[in-house]
């Protein structure tokens, strides 16, 4: 079996690790991969957005199926190109990927489908944005409609802050083309939850829920980032199993049905970012692929016997998913992200990384690393490493993740020491 993984971050490292774990005989390729993935796969000098070159490679090497990690190649139509060439691929079409690549499209889709979500206004001018801010009222969320690497969301405590954020996107180009259209959205109170759902377009299989930590600093302080860590499973879904069923029935299935009706059926991995409000779960956002860093926590938590690779291959080949497959978590996993100096605004690259031997029950996924000519491992991105501790209890998983994260050294290293704090307080009975 030959499989191509498109991408080169921590998510793709975790996916490659899981594919290898599911089938040790698999022949893996990664484009472009990274130094961590290189221990599992043959890394190619082809970028994730070089779609013609990826199609040519897959055809030449007779790749059995391709797994796409990042959202950008999906938004550029990589699935369309592979399908046109008769090559199986896991990931939605360009039209279906709009559920992530265009927040205005996604919001309209949810409203039309009756999916519970925050009230919002789509704005293309500063004047429209200011009117929407006044109408919705603070606190309010300002979102760049396009892809902004997980950073195009600004939570504003006051209307003045919101006006500054909207002006920066629409008039100041703070997020480039991604901010040419913005959403002014009501602020939702509650606890966030990330749910991954495998789908063939109709049938769905939910993976165990996770919780991401977006803020840079302990205590959920500091700027929003692409994610500073995650944990899995979340006891809210274990204590109330009907919660996941409610999400599937009121959010996931109606969304997939609306997309089929629009002639843009979605197959692959649908990521539902949820807010658990007093009125029930509501959608914060959809992503058209595995989330990062949740993937680095979810995949190690799922039982080794769960046939994830086989299920993804079925979807890639356009076949129907089986029903009643158990993908629940059998262990706890906590992922701590080590970020570069200056992250998220101006991450520094090229700092040498000192990393000791990795102990049992710890996984280190490379997110933004590179090898110098002398073989030295250095930082090469904002999020550098994702350190996942695995254990039978969340507390021990957190200890393992934190202990190894503290042992990794590079200049300006940043990481949170409280990943999973809400869950640990909940399990300890702290209110």
| CATH number of this structure's domain 191-427 | 3.30.470.20
CATH domain 125-180 topology:
Dna Ligase; domain 1 (3.30.1490)
Structure tokens at 360: 């049992």
Task: Kindly indicate the confidence band of residue 402, based on its pLDDT and cuts at 50, 70 and 90.
Answer: very high
Rounded to the nearest integer, the mean pLDDT of the chain is 94
Domains 2-93 and 125-180 share a fold: no
pLDDT in tens, 290-322: 999 999 999 999 999 999 999 999 999 999 999
Average pLDDT over residues 89-105: 95
pLDDT in tens, 177-222: 888 888 899 999 999 999 999 999 999 999 999 999 999 999 999 9
pLDDT in tens, 134-168: 998 889 999 888 887 667 888 899 999 999 999 99
Average pLDDT over residues 64-68: 98
Domain edges within the chain: 2-93, 125-180, 191-427
pLDDT in tens, 374-399: 999 999 999 999 999 999 999 999 99
Is the pLDDT confidence value at 241 over 80? Answer: no
> What distances in angstroms separate CA 397 from CA 25, 44, 71, 344, 428, one per listed residue?
29, 34, 29, 26, 15
The whole-number pLDDT of residue 256 equals 98
Query: For the whole model, what pTM was predicted?
Result: 0.92
pLDDT in tens, 345-360: 999 999 999 999 999 9
The whole-number pLDDT of residue 431 equals 47
272: helix, strand or coil: strand
Which residues 6+ apart lie within 8 Å of 415 measured at CB? 228, 229, 336, 337, 338, 339, 405
CATH domain 2-93 topology:
Rossmann fold (3.40.50)
Beta strands in 79-190 (DSSP E): 89-90, 120-123, 140-144, 153-156, 182-186
Average pLDDT over residues 228-240: 91
The whole-number pLDDT of residue 178 equals 81
The whole-number pLDDT of residue 430 equals 60
Is residue 72 packed enough to be buried (19+ CB in 10 Å), middle (13-18) or exposed (0-12)? Answer: middle
Q: Name the DSSP letter for residue 323.
A: S
The whole-number pLDDT of residue 150 equals 64
The whole-number pLDDT of residue 120 equals 86
The whole-number pLDDT of residue 174 equals 82
Q: How much of the chain, in percent, has pLDDT values that exceed 70?
A: 99
């Amino acid at each position: 079996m030959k499989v191509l993984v498109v991408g080169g971050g921590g998510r793709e490292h975790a996916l490659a690790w899981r594919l290898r774990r599911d089938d040790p005989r698999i022949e893996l390729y990664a484009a472009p991969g990274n130094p961590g993935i290189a221990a599992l796969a043959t890394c190619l000098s082809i970028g994730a957005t070089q779609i013609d070159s990826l199609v040519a490679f897959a055809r030449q090497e007779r790749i059995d199926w391709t797994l796409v990690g990042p959202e950008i190649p999906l938004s550029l139509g990589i699935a369309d190109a592979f399908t046109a060439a008769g090559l199986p691929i896991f990931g939605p079409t360009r039209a279906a990927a709009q559920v992530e690549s265009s927040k205005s499209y996604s919001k309209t889709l949810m409203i039309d489908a009756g999916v519970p979500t925050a009230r919002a206004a789509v704005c293309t001018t500063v004047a429209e944005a200011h009117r929407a801010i006044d109408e919705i009222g603070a606190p309010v969320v300002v979102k760049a409609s396009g892809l902004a690497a997980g950073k195009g969301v600004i939570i504003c405590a006051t209307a003045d802050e919101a006006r500054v954020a909207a002006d920066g996107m629409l008039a100041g180009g703070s997020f480039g083309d991604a901010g040419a259209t913005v959403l002014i959205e009501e602020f939702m109170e509650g606890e966030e939850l990330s749910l991954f759902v495998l789908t063939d377009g109709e049938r769905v299989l939910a993976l165990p829920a996770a919780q991401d930590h977006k803020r840079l600093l302990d205590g959920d302080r500091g700027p929003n980032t692409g994610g500073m860590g995650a944990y899995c499973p979340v006891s809210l879904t274990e204590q109330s199993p009907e919660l996941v069923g409610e999400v599937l029935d009121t959010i996931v299935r109606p969304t997939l049905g609306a997309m089929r009706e629009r002639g843009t059926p979605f197959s692959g991995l649908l990521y539902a970012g949820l807010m658990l409000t007093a009125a029930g779960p509501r959608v914060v956002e959809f992503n058209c692929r595995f989330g990062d860093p949740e993937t680095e926590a979810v995949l190690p938590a799922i039982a080794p016997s769960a046939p994830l690779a086989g299920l993804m291959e079925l979807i890639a080949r356009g076949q129907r998913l089986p029903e009643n497959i158990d993908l629940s978590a059998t262990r706890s996993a906590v992922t701590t992200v080590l970020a570069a100096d200056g992250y998220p605004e101006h991450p520094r690259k090229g700092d040498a990384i000192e990393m000791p031997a990795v102990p049992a029950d710890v996984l280190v996924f490379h997110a933004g690393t590179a090898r110098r000519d002398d073989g030295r491992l250095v930082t090469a991105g904002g999020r550098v490493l994702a350190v996942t501790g695995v254990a039978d209890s969340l507390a021990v998983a957190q200890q393992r993740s934190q202990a190894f994260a503290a042992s990794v050294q590079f200049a300006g290293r940043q990481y949170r020491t409280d990943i999973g704090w809400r869950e640990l307080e909940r399990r300890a009975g702290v209110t």
